[in-house]
Structure 1
Amino acid sequence: MANIGIGIIGTGSIAKTFAKCISELEHVDLIALLTKSSNRIGEIEQQFGVTVFSDMATFLDNSEMSLVCVCNESGNHGEAIKQSAMAGKHVLCEKPLEVTPEKVDEVIEICKAQNVILGCVFQNRCTSDYQALYKVVKEGTLGKLLMGNAHINWYRNKDYYALSEWRGTKQFDGGAAFINQGIHTIDLLLNVMGPVHSVFGNVQTMVHDIEGEDVGAGILNFKNGAIGTITAGTSLYPGYPERLEIYGERGSVILEAGKIKQWNVESVSPPEIVHNVNSTTGASDPTSIGHLNHKIVIQDMIDAIKENRPPMVDGKEARKSVEVIAAIYRSSEKGQQVTL
């Protein structure tokens, strides 16, 4: 089978992560990039070593390109997905698919109508520690689920927002701490605990000069009767490793920075997991996040295309975290509980 040609929309830090992953995978070729900085095309071509376009139609007009990776601003994901799908390209999008559930629904429908595969990057599902937690929950080893908590109490300095004007805006980021930094751990929480019935949220902007929230909390009522909490921030100095806590009637597991911190499960010993010494967290530095789990997600998407199957996280799965975060925002605005 011929190599799968890949294009990347965006040229920022996430695009660099994707390009690195693609360079390490077999039977794929990075063909082109799309940038909105037409005055920097030569510089970007030298940096990435491939052809760079500033026009979407020209970028997509390539029969060798089967997959487009969307790595631009969150609020522009939808348009990039739509145009890629209309051009017959499969799409793998960095989280979130879009910044509202309604916009997510639009891109899901367009990809379905165009018969292209849509995937979303939630790479933290790939860690061995999370997989071990997921296994004991889904096998019923923890028994009845009682509580699930996600804490993403991170820190970003003022330059983080000042140097990228789209960050922290409602139009292009959808908010801030919850939908940008928090969404990965929220995705893990929902994947383990199941559907949410209702939320009560309180989000505030207390330090940074941004539209979105830099600190907030949500209380969740799950459909299975369990309760949960989410805290998220980008002003919580110096920034602490993200934490996922799952409590059942016969045990509990706590992950910190993606690794098992506590494992107290009846009759089940902690799994023996060898960790990559280079694995890092983005608690205080967004550029420190490793690329290995992204690589797994991209490989899965390539396999999904070859096997004509859904990817690890399809549009329906990717929608869940956006829906809950949107409900937390809506609850905070109304000052009352919101039912999903």
Structure 2
Amino acid sequence: MNKIKIAIIGCGRISYKHVEAVVNNSELCEITALCDPSVEKAEEKMREYKEKSGMEAKVYVDYKDAIEHEDIQMAVIATESGYHADIAIYCLEKGLHVLVEKPMALSTKDADKMIEIAKKNNLKLGVCHQNRFNPPIQKLRRAIDQGGFGRILNGTARILWNRNQGYYTQAPWRGTWELDGGTLMNQCIHNIDLLQWMMGSEVESIYSQCDTFMRDIEGEDFGAIIIRFKSGSIGIIEGTACVYPKNLEETLSIFGEKGTVCIGGLAVNNIETWKFENEELNNQQISNEEEPDSVYGFGHTPLYKDFIDAINNDSEPLISGEEGKKAMGIILGAYKSRLLDKKVTFPIGDFSTLEMKNIRHMKID
């Protein structure tokens, strides 16, 4: 089987995980082009790829030139969030499979267009919610599928982190409504994805309260969301970039009539509580991963394998476009609730982060 030839578009903060994932799946794929408006960043990533794999890739400032001149079957989009949709749509229309970093888009309309074009062109569209591949998360999902919780009553996602002002100053697109959103969209979306995936039900309604307490950004640096699912269960999300003096925790907790599980760790990768009425589940060996070197965890490598297997076998990846839209949709629903100052029901219709420019921007001194 021929290797899938990949163009990585965007060589910034997260790109090293994509290079690492390609190298770890070298029997399935290889990098043909590395693209970034900063040639220095693209060349740095090329050197990194060569050092780890012994192979070279072409460097491009314009990803469209790479697509025009190189043999590429798959585009990986790791640019600023606000550019994800336009680049993905261009690549899909050029016949490339697309794996896009979170969030897949900043509007429901753009997400729907990406999904539509991928289906029309019989292409795979995937979203990088890599924490779904954490072994403890996979184990939790299996317990849910086996009915170990009975009825799921509620779940909580807590993302208690610190992102100081320097983080935003270093990359001024962060925290803007045009290119990012606030901490819910940037920092919290992975755990929100895990929460909604575990609850196993569509969203019925959302109510949120958000504010910008400390950081000089357009978006929120603190957000709280209450979700009512159609099953009747309730989800609670607490996300902040203001914890003093550094990251405190990222925790996912699921509560059912017959089970309780809490997963924490640096990247939601350690089982902290595992209790079930079912003794077979209750007595399972609890094994945690080694501690990762960052909040990105180890999930990009199995994410790539899953996505490339989907291309080769013409199957659906675990995190398809439809799946990737769900967490993004919850956050846009929370923003709409904040804007209207009331509970909103799903589906929320066309909505984007740009509509938040109308929000009253409060600060607490």
TM-score by length of 1: 0.93
Gap runs ≥5 in structure 2: 51-56, 347-365
2:14 corresponds to: 14
Q: Deviations over 1:62-94 (max 9, x none)?
A: 452111111001110011111111111111111
1:286 corresponds to: none
1:226 corresponds to: 233
- Determine the C-alpha separation between the residues in 2 that align with 1:269 and 1:331: 39
1:275 to 2:283 alignment: no
1:206 corresponds to: 213
1:92 to 2:93 alignment: no
- Determine the C-alpha separation between the residues in 2 that align with 1:302 and 1:272: 31
| Secondary structure, counterpart of 1:61 in structure 2 | helix
Q: Which moved more, 1:83-92 or 1:31-40?
A: 31-40
1:285 corresponds to: none
- 1:26 is displaced (CA, Å) by 2.6
| Secondary structure, counterpart of 1:242 in structure 2 | strand
| Secondary structure, counterpart of 2:208 in structure 1 | strand
Q: How many residues align?
A: 332
1:272/1:40 Cα in 2 relative to 1: closer, same or farther (>3 Å)? closer
Supply the RMSD in Å over aligned alpha carbons: 1.7
Q: Which moved more, 1:107-116 or 1:245-254?
A: 107-116
- 1:119 is displaced (CA, Å) by 0.7
1:78-227 paired onto structure 2 within 5 Å: 78-173=85-180, 175-193=181-199, 194-227=201-234
Q: Deviations over 1:7-28 (max 9, x none)?
A: 1000112112101221222332
1:338 to 2:351 alignment: no
- Determine the C-alpha separation between the residues in 1 that align with 2:293 and 2:343: 36
Letter in 1 for 2:262: I
1:303 corresponds to: 309
1:270/1:322 Cα in 2 relative to 1: closer, same or farther (>3 Å)? farther
1:39/1:129 Cα in 2 relative to 1: closer, same or farther (>3 Å)? closer
CA contact (8 A) 1:75 1:172 kept: yes
CA contact (8 A) 2:39 2:59 kept: no
Q: Deviations over 1:251-275 (max 9, x none)?
A: 1111112221111210232532443
| Secondary structure, counterpart of 1:23 in structure 2 | helix
- 1:327 is displaced (CA, Å) by 0.8
CA contact (8 A) 2:160 2:240 kept: yes
Q: Which moved more, 1:207-216 or 1:253-262?
A: 253-262
- 1:279 is displaced (CA, Å) by 2.1
CA contact (8 A) 1:4 1:64 kept: no
Q: Which moved more, 1:262-271 or 1:33-42?
A: 33-42
| Secondary structure, counterpart of 2:249 in structure 1 | coil
- Determine the C-alpha separation between the residues in 1 that align with 2:42 and 2:153: 53
Q: Deviations over 1:286-311 (max 9, x none)?
A: xxx33x31000011111111111111
1:318 to 2:318 alignment: no
1:329 corresponds to: 335
| Secondary structure, counterpart of 2:8 in structure 1 | strand
Letter in 2 for 1:309: S
- 1:40 is displaced (CA, Å) by 6.1
1:33 corresponds to: 34
Gap runs ≥5 in structure 1: 283-288
| Secondary structure, counterpart of 1:165 in structure 2 | coil
- Determine the C-alpha separation between the residues in 2 that align with 1:301 and 1:43: 26
Q: Which moved more, 1:131-140 or 1:202-211?
A: 131-140
- Determine the C-alpha separation between the residues in 2 that align with 1:104 and 1:196: 17
Match of 1:261 among 240, 261, 272: 272
Q: Percent identity?
A: 33
1:23 corresponds to: 23
Letter in 2 for 1:319: K
Moved over 6 A (4+): none
- Determine the C-alpha separation between the residues in 2 that align with 1:300 and 1:40: 28
CA contact (8 A) 1:44 1:52 kept: no
- 1:184 is displaced (CA, Å) by 0.5
- 1:220 is displaced (CA, Å) by 1.1
Q: Which moved more, 1:76-85 or 1:56-65?
A: 56-65
- Determine the C-alpha separation between the residues in 1 that align with 2:93 and 2:304: 21
1:250 corresponds to: 258
Letter in 1 for 2:86: E
| Secondary structure, counterpart of 2:73 in structure 1 | strand
- 1:167 is displaced (CA, Å) by 0.8
- Determine the C-alpha separation between the residues in 1 that align with 2:175 and 2:163: 11
- 1:186 is displaced (CA, Å) by 0.5
